[in-house]
Each structure stands twice: as structure tokens, then as C-alpha cells.
Structure 1
Amino acid sequence: MEEVVKATKNFSADLVVGDGGFGFVYKAQFSDGRIVAVKKLDPDAFQGFREFQAEMETLSKLRHPNIVKILGYCVSGADRILIYEFIERGNLDRWLNDSSSCDGDGYDDGAGFRVPLSWKTRIKIVRGVANGLAFLHGLDKPIIHRDIKASNVLLDSEFEAHIADFGLARRMDASRSHVSTQFAGTMGYMPPEYKEGFTGATVRADVFSFGVLMLEVATGKRPICPRSSTAKKWAW
């Protein structure tokens, strides 16, 4: 834990590269020169410990070019830390959108220059996510991600996609149609049956979320935006 604290400069806000409902992600450099991503879970977050267990149990056993690699973990008191490979270009959401707009077509590098994603690159990204999902769903005990969305897809220096954030993931017996669990996911990416009260985790739900993601990649429009209609409406 001491080395993690040093590598993140005591979890400095200046090193934060991502955040979510369960904590923050920091860009860190260890004494041997390795640059990694350090995810510190909020001890007060809902299902925080269960998320930590799920992510550890799931990612530690997975090896696929389109799945983010976990390098280690540590627990100290209430602190729970996950250490991942650092993916250079950040998440896909940052390349498709900016924080002030519902539409987007690239990434502002901070100097006001917006770099567009070519169709070739967009297709490569979508194929990468599809390959990663096919791997997860094709395991002897399929893994349901449950939160496929642009901010959970990381892009490396070659714009290869890596599926990340397995905190909500569940393994499923291949003989079953779903896993009974609590309602989870991100509005706009979840299938309509969730709105009707269904809470089971299914492979089909991941596929629906992937379909929404494909529309977002193709159009540059967010699935949910205060100033726009839902994905179902703008898709038509």
C-alpha cells in the first residue's frame, strides 16, 4: 500500500484520470518506471466491497487483447485498491463527446483542437468491443458485463478497444438464461425490460447495450442527454 500511495502522490487530485459512482482512477508511476492505472474504491459506495470482489474475481482470470488487464490489488483497512495496465488514450466517451455538448465527433486535446475519429477507426473500435464481448459470452461460464458504455471502453495508442470496469459483472451458468441480481447499469444503455421491472442479468442485455454503443459511435450522439431525446427516438 505504501508504494501505491507514493506512486499516486497520496492520491493527488491532479492525477485523477477517471471517476465513477464507486471511486476514482489515478494515473500512477511506480519506482521501477511502470505507469499504471490505480482504482481506489469509495468505502462508502453502494455495493463497494461486492464490486471490488467481483472485479478481482473476474479480471484476474481473463486474458484477451480487448479486455483490460489487472496487474494487482491491495487492501488496507477500509481502502480497496485495484491496479490495471494504463491505457494511453483514455475512454471512448472522451473521444466522442465533450462535457458541454450532447453531440461530438472527436476529442479536444485541451488546446481547442478537436481530433476527429475516422470511420476506419470507429469500425476498429466497435469490432474490438464486439470481440471482447464475444469472448466473455463464449466462456464455459459466460460473464455478463452489465455496464457496456462508452466510458467503460478504453483506447490504447493504436485505438484498439479494451473493455473495462467489471465491478457489476456476474458469471452465469451456461444452462441458465439469466442471473438473478439487483438492478444495475447505466440509463440509456439498458434494455427496455429493465424499465418494466426486470432485474436479471442476461447476455442479451449486454448485446442491447453494445447496440446502443454502436449507434453512439456512428452518430456521435449520447444515448441520454437533457437536451435531446432517448436513443430509441434518435436512432430512427
Structure 2
Amino acid sequence: MRLLLVENDANLANLLAKGFGETGFTVDLAPNGLTGRHFVEEQTYDLVILDVMLPGLNGWQLLQLIRKRGTTPVLFLTARDAIEDRLRGLELGADDYLLKPFTFDELLVRVRTLLRRGPTGTADTYVIADLDIDVQRQRVSRGGQRISLSDQEFELLQLLASRQGDVISRSLIASQVFNNDSHKIEIAIHRLRSKIDERYQPKLIHTMGTVGYQLAVLAD
């Protein structure tokens, strides 16, 4: 597995590279955003770890460039602890947000979790409560009743199901399902809810503030 670590604290970057190297990862180090952009444009990575405050090109800007190129998992590793910063990171398409100070063990667990999950998931079937999704045959049923979805509705549902329980940011949904057109998301969610949730309990599709959406069974 190949990681890109974009971190301008040389001591921290070297410690993390050593730790990841000892656990079997190959790590490229970028001391600033511009170097990070060069690596992203020239190499393929399984995961990118980003600081926010970077010289040359900040983490927000670099994440946007990464999202234009694909769905590589991105984890923010930063001291920016304001809720507005965390929300901004998720809205721009980050997959996780870990605050400094941190332990290497926690970072390693989060990296491994993201790598197992991947950007979109690879399962052939998903089962959430009484909702069944057959990816191979593109069939959906709830409570034993078949549900007809358009290709785009199915793609949206599959994305939510592949990361069930996680909040999927609007920017990630836009980039993966709607060719970066975020204006279509609310209408598509409304139509999907009318088919998946309207006549059933428990409700499965949840709006998580302005950040994004979640497919999950939530406790009362």
C-alpha cells in the first residue's frame, strides 16, 4: 500500500513515515502543498494524509484537486479543531479528520479502516434493516417488495450503502454520481426517499445538517 503524507513539520513527517514503513506501507513525503500536488499528479496512491495549514497550497485546495482527479481516500491530520474546519473538510470530500495531538496507533487504525473500506466499496450485496441491494443484478427490495430505481438513483443508493453508517459529504456525492453538479443532489435524495423510506420503518436515509447524508438505522 502506497501513502502520500503532506506535512510541513519535518520531524513529525519523518516519525510517521518510519512508523508506517515499519507496518508495511510505502510512504512519499511532501513538505508543502505544491510538492503534494506534484506527487498526486505523477503517482497513484491508496490514501493521502493531509495537513490543512501548508505553505504554497493549503490542504483545502489540495483536497479539491485530488477530488477532481478521483476518489482516493483522504484523511486530514491537523491541529485545526474548530467544528467549522471539520465540517469544511467533510464538505470538500475528506473521508476522515483526525486532530493533533494524536497517537500513532489511532492514526494507523483509521488509515487501515479507510483502506479496507475503499472509496466506494466492493460488495455484491448490501443488507440494511429490511432493505436488500443486489449490486450485480441492480435490484433493490424492501420488506420483500421490489423497488424500481433509475440508474442514477441506484448509483446514489449504492454509494450510501457502501459506506453505511458514515456521513457522505455532498461534494463526494456530487463528484461520484452527478458529475460535480451538486444542485441535483437534493432532488435525487427526495426521490430516493420516496421509494426507499416513505412507506417503511425504520427510516434509513438521513440528512446530516449541511454536511451530507447517511444510510443507517439510527437509535431512537
Relative to the length of structure 1, the TM-score reads 0.24
State the structure with bigger RCO (CA 8 A, min sep 6), 1 or 2. Answer: 1
Q: With structure 2 as the length reference, what TM-score do the two structures score?
A: 0.25
